[in-house]
Structure 1
Amino acid sequence: MPETDPNLDDLALLEDAARQAGDIALSFFGGDPRTWFKDNKSPVSEADMAVDGYLAEVLRTARPDYGWLSEEAVDDKERLACPRTFIVDPIDGTRAFLAGGDEWTVALAVVDHGRPVAGVVYCPVRRELFSAVATRGARLNGEKITVSGHGSVEGARLSGPHSIVANDDILSAGFERMPNVRSLAYRIALVAAGRVEVAAARSGPSDWDLAAADLLVQEAGGRLTDLDGNGVTYNKASTRHPGLIAAPQRLVRPVCDIISAAVGQ
């Protein structure tokens, strides 16, 4: 019998869960869901909580031995003792979701010993399912994707927050400024698909914003790093990360140097 790959099994589980979660979110989309603010002043809605509840039930039932880390759930530190952990953002880009934007996503990953091995970023409005499995490449709606072949900072398309993309020192390096994408997971997924060369994030993103999209970029031929060029490790006690960039391999070092010199970590 052929050897089974647990990562492929996990990806199939994530893909189905993401599609169903997207349908739940869409049932609230444009309907003025009840909304409140968390302690960090970020919004959360009844849609986020409905999606989170669905994902917790489906994924944790399917893999009861996996740890669990979700943006919308109390952090259970028992995950730190689990070799494998689900890292979940029920709706990444809640502000976009509430404003009627189309770039919000469901971001799901399985992390094994600190690195993602299966990941999905699903954009329900655009019906785009980005998926990846470690060592097996990245795909968009089943078709293989790769990062851009653009070879220099000059003309490289840069998406990120205003403090980065409107910085004169950064723009003077020759980047082409692109609109910001309010789902960080989707912003990074666009790098994996070759639609932009560089995605940037200010200091402060969390595991759930990054893990699935990190694997997409890696499997598409790029990297997600901090501004010193170091990769990201997940499922640690602290889920927060410094400023980051995602880019094709050849652009990582020059982009890190330019952004670090302009805005620091």
Structure 2
Amino acid sequence: MMTASALPDTQWLRDLELITTAAMAAGEKALGFFRKNPDFRYKNEDRSPVSEADYAANDVLKERLLAARPNYGWLSEETDDDEARLGCETVFVVDPIDGTRAFIAGKDVWCVSVAVVHEGRPVAGVLYAPALIELYQAAQGQGARRNGLPIRTSQAGDGDKLQIALSEQRVARLPAAFRAGMTRIAHVPSLAYRLAMIADGRIDGTVVERNSHDWDLAAADLILDEAGGRLAGLDGQPLAYNGKQVTHDLLCAARLSVLDPLVAAAGGSGPH
């Protein structure tokens, strides 16, 4: 007989299968617009671009996911926010195309990001980057995978220079001692994909500037956590998702041995 404690894990695995299928379908839909001069506009609130591909992928995700889990809430970058989600224990948190600027420019580094968030924390997450043919998946307590194979954060030695993705402006604000032990990784267009790069060991950490959103982070947060890393605020605490406020302050993400030094360096690096 299945115990009550085992039941949610089984549910999250079922949800992972569901969101994987939906994310891949949405990615293929978006791929149909890729490098074909899709129509786009700039949003009034933050001047970020949104394309017809974003909306088309969002439609695929919303139709598939809410049809399968009508009792789950919905939070998406490309859907007007409905505060009914605040009354839901479990919510889909979706970015139909994370890295829209790269998508519009014809660059490969963009992905579909889908998470299941339960009581404020992600329990299933998928990033699908169709132009790169890469699929990242994680479920709570089940580890993280890329294209079906387990991934882990870097195990670099203490003497190796840290590979840190952040802006040149942020580097200039870091303490000199930290800068001396790191190499800057140039801009990665998709924030979610940047966190996945930590999860699979290609880089050691990143600083996430203020005003990132739940949909940028939730799926990648879980993938990183299951791969042996962590995303945290400057207080060192994990993020809570599906609150009334869906934006976040300055954050750091890294493999565990790097997180505390990175938080200390970023926290002491002066105002944004």
TM-score w.r.t. structure 1 length? 0.95
Per-residue deviation, 1:43: 0.4
Residue aligning to 2:118: 112
Partner of 1:193: 200
Q: What CA deviation, in whole Å up to 9, does each residue of 1:189-216 have, x standing for no partner?
A: 1101011000221111000000000001
Distance 1:179 1:86, change over 3 A: same
> Which amino acid in the other structure matches residue 56 of structure 1?
K
Q: Specify the SS of the correspondent of 2:212.
A: coil
Q: Which residue of 1 aligns with 2:24?
A: 19
Q: Match of 2:41?
A: 36
SS of residue matched to 1:172: helix
Distance, in Å, in 1 between the alignment partners of 2:159 and 2:206 is 13
Distance 1:176 1:20 in 2: 37
Hey, what's the Cα distance between the residues in 1 that align with 2:159 and 2:171? 13
Task: Please report how far the alpha carbon of residue 227 of structure 1 lies from its aligned counterpart in structure 2 after TM superposition.
Answer: 2.0
Which residue number corresponds to residue 189 of structure 2?
A: 182
The answer to whether the 8 Å contact 2:96/2:112 transfers is yes
Indicate if the aligned counterparts of 2:174 and 2:265 stay in contact, CA closer than 8 A.
no
| Structure 1 residue 230 displacement after superposition | 1.6
Shift of residue 259, structure 1, vs aligned partner: 1.5
Match of 2:231 in 1: 224
Q: Is the 8 A contact 1:161 1:201 kept in 2?
A: no
User: Deviations for 1:153-203, whole angstroms, at most 9, x for unmatched residues?
Assistant: 861101123322455646634111112111000000110101100022111
1:82 counterpart residue number:
88
SS at match of 1:238: coil
Contact kept? 1:190, 1:196, Cα under 8 Å: yes
Query: Are positions 1:144 and 2:153 aligned together?
Result: no
Alignment of 1:49-68 (within 5 A): 49-68=55-74
1:10 matched residue in structure 2: 15
Cα distance in 2 for partners of 1:264, 1:220 equals 31
Name 2:251's counterpart in structure 1. Answer: 244
Deviations 1:59-93 (A, max 9, x none): 01010000000000111101111010000000000
CA distance in 2, matches of 1:57, 1:162: 41
Which segments of 5 or more consecutive residues in structure 1 lack a partner in the other structure? none
Show the counterpart of 1:135. 141
> Sequence identity of aligned pairs in percent?
45
Partner of 1:97, secondary structure, is helix
Q: How far is the alpha carbon of 1:152 from its aligned partner?
A: 4.2
The range that moved more, 28-37 or 254-263, is: 254-263
Contact 2:116 2:124 in 1 (8 A): yes
**Residue 254 of structure 1 corresponds to which residue in structure 2?**
261
Quick one: which amino acid aligns to residue 235 of structure 2? Answer: D
Structure 2 gaps of 5+ residues are none
- Answering whether residue 219 of structure 2 is matched by residue 212 of structure 1, we say yes
Q: For residues 116-157 of structure 1, what are the alpha-carbon distances to aligned partners after superposition, in whole Å with 9 as ceiling and x for unaligned?
A: 000001111111000000011000011000111125486110
2:19 & 2:173 partners in 1: Cα distance?
Answer: 38
